[in-house]
Chain A
Amino acid sequence: MDRFLNELSLFAPAVVFNIYFALASIPLGFIFAVFLALGKASDNVLVNRLSRGFIYAFRGSPLFIQFFMIYSMMLALNIGFWKPWGISWFVLHPLFIGPLVLVLNTAAYTAEIFYGALRAVPRGEVEAARAYGMSKSQQFRRVVWPNLIRLAWPAYTNEVVFLFHATALVYLALPVVGQQMDLMITAKQLFERDYNAVLHYSAAALYFLAVSLTIFFIFGLIYARLMRHMPAPPRMRFKPKWIR
């Protein structure tokens, strides 16, 4: 038991990195996803094609390959751009590239969720808003967006949990700088030291499970707040779906 508590304390600094990656990429990915979803629903052929292509490419390929691809591209641009500009220490750092790739990836998945919700917004409500003489932006802010976010929230919660799981891949694909190690690398290093797979990996798994449940709890509270006008607010259940 003592050994297990000790093990958990070893992982405590590591989980900070996973949380950092998730926190850094969730807000940006959210904003990017809104624009992508609107782009996919847009009538402009170019915008429509571009957003569709982006969403398809990043949903259709493994995150692991995306990490390698974007990191190697950044490396290839190093001599031409980053070095002369003197920012290579920053641009090539895993703490920058990790969130960058995660943002691109989660934006594609989230945009697909938002696009589905956008199409499910009741047509009558939009028509009523038009009949009231609301401008396009008013329609979006007052009618479409509130509907969209409520429809999309349960699926978006799953996406955030999966994004947190995806942070496990960051340091498996990118170089580890100094002592900056996330849960997976810590587990791997401890495993290579004493070959106790069950102990180390289950400690890491417990951390992942705990943070996932926390995310779920917080997002459930937000959902309850979003749905406070409903007579009996629908409850969310911890049910990671197969969307991703």
Chain B
Amino acid sequence: MSDDLAFWLSYITNGKHLTWYASFQFTIFAAVVGGALATIFGLLGATLKNSRFWPLRLLGSGYSNIVRGVPDVLFFLFVPLAFEQGVEWLLASQVCTADMIAAQSAAWPPCKEANWILGTPEYLVLASVSLGLVYGAFATNVIHGALRSVPGGQLEAARAYGLTAAQVLWRVQIRQMWVYALPGLSNVWMLIIKSTSLLSLLQIADIVLWADRLGAPNFLPAVGLVHEDWRWRYYLVLFVFYILVTFLSEKGFEAIMRRAGRGILSEAR
């Protein structure tokens, strides 16, 4: 019995498993940075949508409607790939000479010197930006609605005190908006957490990729424990992990909402 326990303990702490545990940092990084960026893009989009200048208004609503109208995974894949290509195209226009282009056999990049090779850290940053852009569109919608829920009397009072339009926006409207936006933002955060499972699509060695590798059947004793297809066990662990994260976020947001709602009429929430 204790031998068994020791065996399984050593199995789940072997090098591969430790790499798996370490790869949780990518997921957490993408969620946190993506969430922060989504809030920033959301604020930006909502301000654009509220703008008095109609092209900016169009830009804001176009951003939030088009991004929400196509699947998140499509946009999530498109942004990093398009950005990488854009940089390579710029690079190519600077460094490539006619001979280099003639020597290149592949379709892209135009010449080998303009190739920009991305590793896990670069893709992780791009993926976080991409998550921020996609879910910023959802946050734009939430924050736009919340900005309009701030009681008009508050804004009038601020204007009567002689604050400028920008001051009213930043010091009164956005300060008070959070209470109304929090329920929606908590939903956006749940969406971001769930979409961190897509990181492996950008060749990031994240928890999903490692679960697949660890669970794959092994028939060679030299490589490690011989076992059949155990992938379902590893995916079950991830399934439970995500449910736990959702549960904890729910509790966290409840606490934040209680705190942010102090001094505000409960019917407002």
Contact = CB atoms under 8 A, between A and B. Distances in A.
A172 B66 CA distance: 22
B107 A69 contact: no
B201 interface: yes
A197 B82 CA distance: 6
Contacts of A76: 228-229, 231-232
A86 B29 CA distance: 45
Contact of A205 (B70, B191, B211, B231): B70
A217 B75 CA distance: 24
B201 A205 contact: no
Contact of B229 (A72, A204, A213): A72
Interface string B174-215: 000000000010011011001111100100000010011001
Interface stretch (A58-66, A114-122, A133-141, A220-228): A58-66
A61 B72 contact: no
A163 to B, nearest CB: 11
Contacts of B77: 184, 188, 201
A68 B213 CA distance: 13
A191 interface: yes
A165 interface: yes
Interface in B43-81: 65-66, 68-75, 77-78, 81
A191 B71 contact: no
Contacts of A191: 81
Interface residues of B, number: 47
Contacts of B65: 238
B243 A62 contact: no
Contact of B71 (A165, A193, A197, A241): A165
A195 B247 contact: no
Interface in A28-54: none
B170 interface: no
Given A61-B246, A201-B77, A205-B74, 5 more contacts: A60-B247, A65-B197, A168-B71, A184-B77, A212-B69
Interface of A: 56-57, 59-66, 68-69, 72-73, 75-76, 165-166, 168-169, 172, 184, 187-188, 191, 193-195, 197-198, 201, 204-205, 208-209, 212-213, 238-244
24 contacts: A57-B243, A60-B243, A60-B246, A60-B247, A61-B239, A62-B194, A64-B198, A65-B235, A65-B242, A66-B239, A72-B215, A76-B229, A168-B71, A184-B71, A187-B74, A193-B107, A195-B85, A195-B107, A201-B78, A201-B82, A208-B71, A242-B141, A242-B188, A243-B187
